Structure 1
Amino acid sequence: MTTTPMAPLVPSFVQNSWWTPSDPDGGTSVLDANTGEPLATVNSDGLDLAAVVEYGRTVGQRELGKLSLHERALKLKELAQFLNERREELYEISYRTGATKIDSMVDIDGGIGVLFTFSSKGRRELPNSNVILDGPMEVLSRDGSFAGEHIYTRIPGVAAQINAFNFPVWGMLEKFAPAFIAGVPTIAKPATPTGYVAEAMVRLMVESGILPAGSIQLISGSARTLLDVLDYRDMLSFTGSASTASALKSHKNVIDGGVRFTAETDSLNAAILGPDAVTGTPEFEAFVKAVTTEMTSKAGQKCTAIRRNIVPAALVDDVVKAVGERLDARVVIGDPRAEGVTMGALASLEQLRDVRGAVEEMIAAGGEIAYGTLDAPVVRTMGGEEKTVDAGAFMSPLILTWDDVENQAVHSREAFGPVSSVIGYTDLDDAIHLAAMGAGSLVATVCTNDADTARILTTGIASHHGRVHMLNRETARSSTGHGSPVPHLVHGGPGRAGGGEELGGIRSVKHHMQRTAIQGSPNMLTAVTGVWHTGADRVIAGDPEFGAVAGAIHPFRKSLAELKIGDAYASPLRKVSLEEITAFANETGDTFYAHTDRAAAEANPFFPGIVAHGYLLVSWAAGLFVQPAPGPVLANYGLENLRFITPVPDGDSIRVTLTAKKITPRVTDEYGEVAWDAVINNQDGEIVATYDVLTLVEKEDTTYANWGK
């Protein structure tokens, strides 16, 4: 008797090693989406999920905690560079899911691009520490001895991430990247039909040797009891169907146990064509291109795909015709490994049955097929033949039209494949109403070149959508597209779309952190945050009349190795003369009357007469604190939070006090950034101006150590 050899098991990666069940029998068989051939078996029977979670909470938390936010962000860049060199082998695996080369680039290159983006934003926008400040200090006592503020610190558990089948790489990395920067270990659970692609990516991540132990674990197979072992320390991020999300959301550990839960689910995304975007306009052309792209990219298996095209009623036939002609001209269905194929198979035969079943329900409810067929399409095989095949999960693109544009089926039933509907609206209010009938979506496109139309539609639908993509002739070439979430912006949506948020730059890092109000003295707040707070202790050099310590060194003469938070400098007083104010006005051309016309200035309720320019005061302040000799301060690269508070008339004097507020060493450079709290006072101690001075300072004072010797 001949037996068919079992397809290889897709292993899990848990507790820093690869794992497969002791009993190889059983599990779920995974097929090549294009040929129906067995590819792999997925089985997690016997996997100790409690031990997996505990490993993340202990080893993963400990090892990630040894690194700062910047150090973790830098590791993402190193990982992205490593993976960039191994993309081709991932493409070869991805073809088996029905993804074309372009589809695979969106998934694989897009996922790697997320790592690059988060690495850059993490190092640019976050402190080189593990505490993030949220907002300014709030003084809670009259004498300033008691204050409060908010901080973010990482949650103490794991980030369990259940991902969808359509983007096995991007979907995993867009969740992993912000969790990793936050310092929270990931437990990834990919969807079974394409989990072998996610496993290949995790294998490369492990082989790189870049990630600390426990950073990522992978569950290949069922994880139905995962929520049973999570608690308030952990979070669960889910991408998939609304029904599954609802079941997870109702779990006792979410309702009563405090597990953080976020979901991205079904979405009946819309594209609205403005009344001005008639046939022949650049906007009409851009709209048709966007619709066909979203129908065929990943064979329409995108949570952001356009499902409802809301167009002026008079243009319904024109849109259907134009989209159909573009599909005819550009779509070749078949095995992605065959020459010339532009749209591959759906991810599985089960998915094909689900999509066809959804379309049949929509037709029964009143939809009509205006383009395409439910019959098996002619496809191009690997050998280059054009024929109908039984094994692959291939489907023709379909356009549906509706006599009743408010039919619930078009606004509530999603066919998760190359299927889109065209419905007509009467006016802008009607278009907004139809878009809102989706009951919450991830994204909508507004296609118009009329500013008023763009404003009315965008503000009208914004509260129903996580993202609104405005498309016109100005962005037709540069836009990343309707269906392409970018890591800089929030990805998620209200209502039916799940009510969660993913990506969004540093916002998504903070999703993996706890915001906590802390209260105490300025010294204690400084100790916890690593940022100097007004009223905290400092060591002042400079003018003894302002509390300077004898022998204290000017902080600009200190490298990062020597500089401490609270190191400060108080300058002597500098008198302001009318001649200098007039000269500055004439030299710069800033002859605003408050600086040049005494009578007009005195008539102004804000000024006592002619006053010094604010920028003149800031320039004088720089002259009062700078040190002329080179190093260790390398450059001043800007000011932040500048406020002018008290006018300075001629005859007054000013002094500046500079305090090292925040020190941020750069991981990859021999220098770091220092933010200095700067306060200009007049001779009576009144505050004239406040701002932060930003400088680049050497880690070690070596470059100019022998200058002048």
Structure 2
Amino acid sequence: MQSSILKEKLFINGEWIETEGTHQVFNKYTGELFSEIALADEKIVDQVINAAVTAHKEINFPVEQRYEVLMRAADLLKQNQTALAETIAIEGGKPISDANVEVTRSVSTLQVAAEEAKKLTGEIIPNYNAPGRFLYTVKKPVGVVAAITPFNFPLNLVVHKVGPALAAGNPIIIKPASDTATTTVKLCELLEEAGVPKGYVQCVVGSGRTVGEQLLNDERIVHYTFTGSPAIGKHIQQTIGLRKATLELGSNSATIVHHDTDVEKAAKKIARMANVNAGQVCISVQRVFIHDSIKEAFLDTLVREVAQLKVGDPLNKDTNVGPMISEKEARRIESWIDEAVSAGAVVLTGGKREGSVVQPAVLTNVKKGMKIVDEEAFAPIVSVSSYDTIEEAVALVNDSKYGLQAGIYTSDLKLSYQIPYLLEVGGVIINDTSSFRADQMPYGGVKESGNGKEGPAYAIQELVETVTVVVNLEE
């Protein structure tokens, strides 16, 4: 276990550099200083973009090398699993068991990206009406990519952007969430060791108002990949104009529990998945819609299971729920709960705050107009409402400005086939919660949940240019 304060540099054009300013990263549970990371300024950001442009133009990075670098990086992540998981737990407040899962997922994400690099092929186009012409396509890298990443998965969500960018042959500039940037720096160390070419991966730490804005306003960057709030996502799209962006934004994800399912099994799973990483997951179960006939039995089990979750030090292997990312965020959700209660909601368990730790909460009697229903809570909280017909349940799920993922528990085969066409979301999870994600699957939402798809195979297609080639065979 690390006992002294880490001093981290920035990875710029294949070198590790110090800067005049530093950003302090704290242990989210104890409040102790954990690391100090060099801060980028305007001059450094310009150097980073110059290096990325030069790398794209002058350094050959063939498919076989991309594959080897990504596979070596995956192996190095696996070898450094313990240290990486501890870093995630300390600076992100994520329970160590979940942090270990994140590292394991990141290894898999890099491996999948490596394999997808070998599948980047063009196609022959059938030619029916232009005699003497041979038509085909080739795929080439789009150019410099900028990734702006969140705090809640400081390794895997960075890897979900770095892996596809490198697999497609693009240089990438990472601007991680400052509160969990130590993990990203550690990832860059391993990518350097894996042999990533100079200028193909760089990391800049700084505020969105300075570093972020400079990245957005530089037209040499051709693609942006962002995970975060709808407000920032909209700002990115408005700022970059016709340049492309993949935006994975917020959600108040819902799960339906129909009358024909195993109520206890569903309640136990929802109790856990609503509180993973203290609910700070884009697809965390936030709204549950339960059939009237099983509401009482469902709530009995849900409340019991949530109340039994172990809350505390994320480095304790028995902890289920750690602190939120900051006391400010914990105070926010505390105020949302108070607001809901004053409007008629009932707290069945939890909801109390101590510092940045919030006891997992279950609420009923909720309604539209309450922030815990309408907005993305991003906290250890779940609200439960009931319905009479499946049509009513679908309408309740769709009555949202978001549309990332939704879950449904049912044994009705016909309903299972129909429901993906009825729900206004990017992913439908049958007989599991909205929180399920396999890293190789297409992942992205509709409405204010964003645009574009993550998942290596799908992200790569947004990071290559399809060039049509026409050969005149008669000349």
Q: Are 2:35 and 1:48 aligned?
A: no
User: How far 1:154 moved relative to its partner?
Assistant: 1.3
1:470 aligns to 2:430 (yes or no): yes
1:501 partner SS: coil
- Structure 2 counterpart of 1:333, from 311, 320, 339: 311
Distance 1:410 1:296, change over 3 A: closer
Conservation of the 8 A alpha-carbon contact between 1:301 and 1:416:
yes
On the 8 A contact 1:269/1:441 being kept in 2, the answer is yes
Equivalent pair of 1:352/1:394 in contact (CA under 8 Å): yes
| Structure 1 residues 339 and 249: alpha-carbon distance in aligned structure 2, compared to 1, 3 A threshold | closer
Amino acid at match of 1:19: I
Letter in structure 2 aligned against 1:342:
N
Alpha-carbon contact 1:139-1:147 (below 8 Å) kept: no
Paired with 1:523 and 1:172, the residues of 2 have a C-alpha distance of 49
Helix, strand or coil at the partner of 2:454: strand
Letter in 1 for 2:13: Q
Which deviations, in whole Å up to 9, do the C-alpha atoms of 1:457-476 show, x marking residues without a partner? Answer: 23211xx111111117xxxx
Structure 1 residues 541-582: Cα deviation after superposition (integer angstroms, max 9, x where no partner) = xxxxxxxxxxxxxxxxxxxxxxxxxxxxxxxxxxxxxxxxxx
Alpha-carbon distance in 2 for matches of 1:41, 1:460: 49
Q: What is the Cα deviation at residue 494 of structure 1? A: 0.6
**Structure 1: which amino acid aligns with 2:407?**
T
**TM-aligned CA deviation for residue 52 of structure 1:** 0.8
Aligned counterparts of 1:249 and 1:89: Cα–Cα separation in 2 = 36
2:66 matched to which residue of 1?
Answer: 72
Give every structure 1 segment of 4 or more consecutive aligned residues whose post-TM-superposition deviation is greater than 6 Å.
none
Superposition pairs of residues 296-695 of structure 1, within 5 angstroms:
296-329=275-308, 331-338=309-316, 340-376=318-354, 390=355, 393-402=356-365, 404=367, 406-407=368-369, 409-461=371-423, 464-471=424-431, 482-503=434-455, 505-521=456-472
What CA distance in whole angstroms lies between the structure 2 residues aligned with 1:367 and 1:514? 51
**Aligned residues between the structures:** 467
Structure 1 regions of 5+ residues with no counterpart? 1-5, 127-131, 377-389, 473-480, 525-709
Task: Please name the residue that 1:92 is paired with.
Answer: 86
Distance change in 2, residues 1:46/1:410 (3 Å):
closer
Residue type matched to 1:234 in 2? V
Q: 2:100 is matched with which residue: 81, 89, 105?
A: 105
Counterpart residue number, 1:21: 19
The corresponding residue for 2:197 is 212
CA distance in 2, matches of 1:523, 1:445: 57
> What TM-score does the superposition give when structure 2 sets the normalisation length?
0.91
Deviation at residue 350 of structure 1 after TM alignment = 2.7
Q: Secondary structure at the match of 1:350?
A: helix
Q: Is the 8 A contact 1:14 1:217 kept in 2?
A: yes
Contact 1:359–1:415, Cα closer than 8 Å, also in 2: no
Q: Deviations over 1:369-412 (max 9, x none)?
A: 12213243xxxxxxxxxxxxx5xx211001111254x4464542
**2:362 partner amino acid:** I
Q: Is contact 1:371-1:398 (8 Å) kept?
A: yes
Aligned to 2:167: 181
Report the equivalent of 2:248: 264
Q: Which runs of 5+ in 2 are unaligned?
A: none
Flag the structure with higher helix content. Answer: 2
User: Following the alignment from structure 2 to structure 1, what is the Cα–Cα distance between the partners of residues 140 and 281?
Assistant: 34
Q: How far off is 1:259 after superposition?
A: 2.0
What residue identity is the alignment partner of 1:133?
Answer: G
The amino acid of 1:12's aligned partner reads: L
CA distance in 2: counterparts of 1:396 and 1:508, whole angstroms: 36
Instruction: Tell me the equivalent position of 2:25.
Output: 30
Match of 2:132 among 125, 145, 168: 145
Residue 116 of structure 1 pairs with residue 78 of structure 2:
no
The Cα shift of 1:37 comes to 1.1
Q: Is the Cα contact below 8 Å between 2:66 and 2:169 reproduced in 1?
A: yes
The alpha carbon displacement at 1:66 in A equals 3.5
Amino acid at match of 1:183: G
Residues in 2 aligned to 1:266 and 1:408: alpha-carbon distance in whole angstroms: 17
> Structure 1 residues 489 and 7, CA, compared in 2 at 3 Å: closer, same or farther?
same
In 2, Cα distance between the equivalents of 1:232 and 1:152?
Answer: 20
State the match for 1:697 in structure 2: none
Q: Is the Cα–Cα contact under 8 Å of residues 95 and 317 in structure 2 kept in the other structure?
A: no
SS at match of 2:246: strand
Tell me, yes or no, if the aligned pair for 1:60 and 1:213 is still in contact at 8 Å.
no
RMSD between aligned residues: 2.4
Q: Does 1:240 align with 2:228?
A: yes
3-state secondary structure, aligned to 1:333: coil
SS in 1 for 2:435: coil
Query: Deviation string for 1:594-639 (max 9, x for gaps)?
Result: xxxxxxxxxxxxxxxxxxxxxxxxxxxxxxxxxxxxxxxxxxxxxx
TM superposition score normalised by structure 1: 0.62
Measured after TM superposition, the shift of residue 361 of structure 1 is: 3.8
CA contact (8 A) 1:358 1:414 kept: no
Q: CA deviation at 1:228?
A: 4.6
Deviation at 1:313, TM superposition (A): 2.6
SS at match of 1:459: helix
Sequence identity of aligned pairs in percent?
A: 21
Are 1:272 and 1:447, in contact at CA under 8 Å, matched by a contact in 2? yes
Residue pair 1:292, 1:323 contacting (<8 A) in 2 also: yes
In structure 2, C-alpha distance between the alignment counterparts of 1:53 and 1:334, rounded to whole Å: 42
Aligned counterparts of 1:522 and 1:433: Cα–Cα separation in 2: 57
Per-residue deviation, 1:220: 1.7
Per-residue displacement from partner, 1:262-288 (whole Å, max 9, x unpaired)? 2111101111112212xxx3xx23321
Q: Compare 41-50 and 297-306 and name the one that shifted more.
A: 41-50
Larger radius of gyration: 1
Supply the distance in 2 between the matched residues of 1:47 and 1:134 (Cα, whole angstroms): 43
Q: Is the 8 A contact 1:20 1:44 kept in 2?
A: no
Q: Distance in 2 between matches of 1:458 and 1:506?
A: 22
> Does the C-alpha gap of structure 1 residues 423 and 517 become closer, same or farther in structure 2, counting only changes over 3 Å?
same
SS at match of 1:221: coil
Quickly say closer, same or farther: Cα 1:518–1:286, change in 2 above 3 A.
Answer: farther
Q: 1:115 to 1:90 in 2, by over 3 A?
A: same
For residues 168-214 of structure 1, give each alpha carbon's deviation from its aligned partner in whole angstroms, at most 9, with x where no partner exists. Answer: 000100111111110001111110111112212222222x2421112
Per-residue deviation, 1:233: 5.5
For 1:190, the equivalent position in structure 2 comes to: 176
Residues of 2 paired with 1:240 and 1:66: CA distance? 30
Relative contact order: is structure 1 or structure 2 higher (C-alpha 8 Å, sep ≥ 6)?
2
Provide the C-alpha distance between the structure 2 equivalents of 1:109 and 1:403, rounded to a whole number of angstroms: 37
> Any idea what the Cα deviations from partners look like across 1:315-346, whole Å, max 9, x if unmatched?
333322211111233x1111122353222112
8 Å Cα contact 1:83/1:204 also seen in 2: yes
